[in-house]
Structure 1
Amino acid sequence: MSDNTRIWDQVNTTDPSATNNFTGMGGFKGTAIKPTYLMRKATEVFGPCGEGWGWTVLEDRFDEGGPLQAPTKEWPDAPRINAKLHTLKIELWYLGKGGQKCTVQHYGHTPFVLLQQGKIITDWEAAKKSLTDAIGKCLQPLGFAADIHMGMFDDAAYVEAVRDEVALEKAEDKVEEEERQKQARLDYIQSVVDLLKGAQSANELKKIHDVAVKKLAARNDNKAVTRIAREYDEQRPRFQKEAA
């Protein structure tokens, strides 16, 4: 851990149980982080909120957007209703080295008046959501949940590896959890070896190899990668003879 990344290295890995998958506008899919989880991580690193870290609201406003409803030929008396966006700018502060007060500024945004499933609605929790958004954005440059922001949660093998790390960290009986994970590792390696031996084509053989190596590499399990590679090399001649 370098001095420059002393905070980042403590908070960049995210517990998968503190996340939710979501589908946004235009079908965009992503991973959302539970706000309370981020606040707990901040408390672990900086101290209690209000003592070791906190925030100050710098701006609080509503911005008007485009029309959601306007008069038409069919409804000339229709009231004009525009979309509204709640915007909050905060300054997040935390106590750094030697008790120095450090700050990060960012905005949070939430639709206040919006069109949802063909109806114009008002979100009365917009202010709370904007604050949550702003806090998360201020924590992001410090490295909080960096693995999500870097797209690493798109890799199922990475998420599975982190899930096991967290399970070991939380386990009441760490020895028992370690043994469970060791056995699961051995079972997985043996299952891959069996699949390689039973492959019916060169393409199938390579696909089995590549998927397993990717999963094991996410865990930095070089011994297992070497074992799978050795079995792969032993099986390849079967299909080279067929091709000849």
Structure 2
Amino acid sequence: MDKNREIWDKVKHTNPRWTKPFGKFGKPLTAIDPMYQVMVMTDTFGPVGKGWNYKVSYTYTPTLVFAEVSVAHNKIFNDSTEWVSWDWYGPVSSVQALTKKNGGLDDEAPKKAMTDALTKAFSHLGVSADVFLGMFDNSKYVEDMKEKFSQKPKVADEKLVKFNK
């Protein structure tokens, strides 16, 4: 494993269970469940606020909301079992319209912008890199991932499955 891609290689594969196909501008794409991405970050670094963290800032115009997200993970662990140094990167931005197609207010717009920016920030660490690299366009690859993830799931993955039932 390349030391520069140590984190990337741990988080690059996506469990197809947590993806959905969708289309945009006539092109087939794959959506990744945002809670799955949070679970991957937690499995890799520990609980949010301890092993990893994020900051969000919003900017509003009359019609749009911009979310800027910075993500950090801990890189130094001291003898008192506390993390003492954050490795921040970002900000990564996203924008959403404040109104729905019918003209009504979209009260979910800030959350959508934040979630989209978090997804992009996580991708910079390699989370679900296979989706962003277009590998989910290959049905054989998706089948291989289904097989890989059909083996004994991690405890956190089992809990998420039970939670989503």
2:103 to 117, 120, 128: 120
Q: Please identify the structure whose Cα radius of gyration is greater.
A: 1
Number of residue pairs aligned between Structure 1 and Structure 2: 147
Coordinate RMSD, CA, aligned: 1.7
Percent identity, aligned pairs only, is 31
How far apart are the structure 1 equivalents of 2:137 and 2:119? 20
Structure 1 segments, 4+ long, off by >3 Å, are 97-100
Q: Name 1:135's counterpart in structure 2.
A: 118
**Which secondary structure state, in structure 1, belongs to the residue aligned with residue 120 of structure 2?**
helix
TM-superposition CA deviations, 1:71-104 (whole Å, max 9, x none): xxxxxxxxxxxxx221011221111255531112
- If asked which structure has higher relative contact order (CA below 8 Å, sep 6+), I would say 2
Q: TM-score of the superposition, structure 2-length normalised?
A: 0.82
* Unpaired runs of at least 5, structure 2: 78-82, 155-165
Q: Name 2:93's counterpart in structure 1.
A: 107
**Which secondary structure state, in structure 2, belongs to the residue aligned with residue 170 of structure 1?**
coil
How far apart are the structure 2 equivalents of 1:111 and 1:19? 24
How far apart are the structure 2 equivalents of 1:142 and 1:162? 20
TM-superposition CA deviations, 1:91-135 (whole Å, max 9, x none): 211112555311121112222124x2xx32321111111111111
**Which secondary structure state, in structure 1, belongs to the residue aligned with residue 58 of structure 2?**
strand
* Unpaired runs of at least 5, structure 1: 65-83, 172-244
TM-superposition CA deviations, 1:133-163 (whole Å, max 9, x none): 1111111111000000000000000000110
How far did 1:3 drift? 1.4
Q: Name 1:61's counterpart in structure 2.
A: 59
- Match runs of 1:1-244 below 5 Å: 1-24=1-24, 26-57=25-56, 59-64=57-62, 84-98=63-77, 99=83, 100-105=85-90, 106-114=92-100, 116=101, 119-170=102-153
Q: TM-score of the superposition, structure 1-length normalised?
A: 0.57
How far apart are the structure 2 equivalents of 1:60 and 1:170? 37
